[in-house]
Amino acid sequence: MPGRCIIRGNVAVSPIMRSGRGNNSAVPEVCLSEAISREDALQLIRCPDNDLPTLLAAARAAKERFKPAVITYSRKVFIPLTNLCRDYCGYCTFRRDPGDPGAHTMTPDEVLEVARAGEKLGCTEALFSLGDKPELLFPEMRDTLRHLGYKSTLHYLEAMCELVLRETSLLPHPNPGLLSAEWIARLAAVSPSMGLMLETTNSDLLATGRAHDNAPDKVPAKRLRTIEEAGKQKVPFTTGLLIGIGESLEDRVDTLLAIRDLHERYGHVQEVIIQNFRVKPTIPMANWPEPSPGEMLRTVAVARLLLPEVNIQAPPNLSAPYYEDLIDAGINDWGGISPLTPDFINPEKPWPHIEQLRLRTEAKGAILRQRLPVYPEFVSDVIARPGLLSDRLRAATGDDGLARRAA
Ligand code: SF4
């Protein structure tokens, strides 16, 4: 596609972008004031190495137009409420069956202990991660819940979010898997935001031997329904892609377009995470190839260009040691970083020290700021709902909608 530039419109053209306007560029012309088509997105995500700097420059320009000069992170504690799960995703090291070494459901005292320790370290988010509906598969989980006094894992989660909200200054952000309309409403009363990774819209990954074989909660249509229901209820929602699990480049674009479609209809997608698959020796996908850094940069950049006014996050620990390159691709957030708890989903990949993260972010020309689990553009809607959640959120929020306690 000779002579075509990546970008036009009201975005400053950087020297890198100018250099990318070579006569042999395969990158399509993209105008940031117009929605990018599927065809253009496919061309962008497949761009050859010599066009990558041009793509990255366009994505970084889009990010600077959206959130100039700042990269955010959420200082959090990770609360793995239960690692029992009824799904068996091929890449997961988090899940356990009852009786497996490390299988555990936290008690309320354990939840509170972690949350209070995080509070002392300036954390503002309690990220609840847990397996999806383990009691449907395991009688042991039903016994545990009965002993704790709850009918289901979601009832227990709701109570633990409420406990953290009542007893600490942390704001809960639950990631419990598929949710009905009723459960979205119930959890929204005790948390300002929530999340569910869409991962991919490719339902072929449910086939025997593939990543979502024996993972009934990973049916893309069901996950889209949960995200849509959150939209109908105007719940600030985090979702994202897991790349490198057997999906194609087309699938990545189609997954981003599905998220864009929901966001255009409901305006509730506060953040899109681009998470890269990392191999671990103990998983069924132990011999699966990881996506390359170039694939990760292309996917992040295309996500930024398809969703120019949505927060785009990529976890730094999964792209170490060169994670700051993700800033070049248009991210504006590093996600949750804990000064206290390990990344229980990828325990072999420690989070960077927050001071290191700050220095490396600054070296890329941005300042690091601490945000809350709910992004600034959604804070006022949540505060408008009267009650304890509103009070806690108001107390935690600074004038700019970020965390009152500066990073
Ligand atoms: S990725 Fe989530 S749903 Fe899949 S097995 Fe692990 S905990 Fe369960």
pTM of the model: 0.92
pLDDT digits (tens, 9 = 90+) for 232-262: 999 999 999 999 999 999 999 999 999 999 9
Give φ, ψ of 266 to 5 degrees: -120, -20
89 lines ligand 1 (CB under 6 A): yes
Mean pLDDT of the chain, nearest integer: 91
The reported pLDDT for the residue numbered 12 is 34
Tracing tokens 């992040």 back to the chain, one arrives at 300
The two structure tokens encoding residue 65: 């137009």
Ligand 1 atom, smallest distance to 86 CA = 8
What CA–CA distances, in Å, run from 115 to 124, 127, 389?
9, 10, 16
Q: pLDDT for 283-317, tens place per residue?
A: 999 999 999 999 999 999 999 999 999 999 999 99
Q: CA 238 to CA 301: how far, in whole Å? A: 18
- 220 CB less than 6 Å from ligand 1? no
**Which domains are delineated in the chain?**
7-66 (no CATH), 70-396 (3.20.20.70)
Which residue in this structure is represented by tokens 């000779």?
Answer: 2
The Cα–Cα gap between 397 and 297 comes to 32
Structure tokens of 203? 């339902």
Q: Find where tokens 């006022």 sit.
A: 380
SS3 content of the chain, % helix, strand, coil (to 5): 40, 15, 45
Of 32-46, 113-127, 189-203, which gets the smallest average pLDDT? 32-46
CA 313 → CA 5, 73, 99, 183, 357, distances in Å? 26, 9, 35, 26, 14
354-371 pLDDT, tens per residue? 889 999 999 999 999 999
Q: Which of 88, 89, 97, 100 gets mutated to test ligand 1 (max ligand atoms within 8 A of its CB)?
A: 89
Test site for ligand 1: of 92, 127, 205, 275, most ligand atoms within 8 A of the Cβ: 92
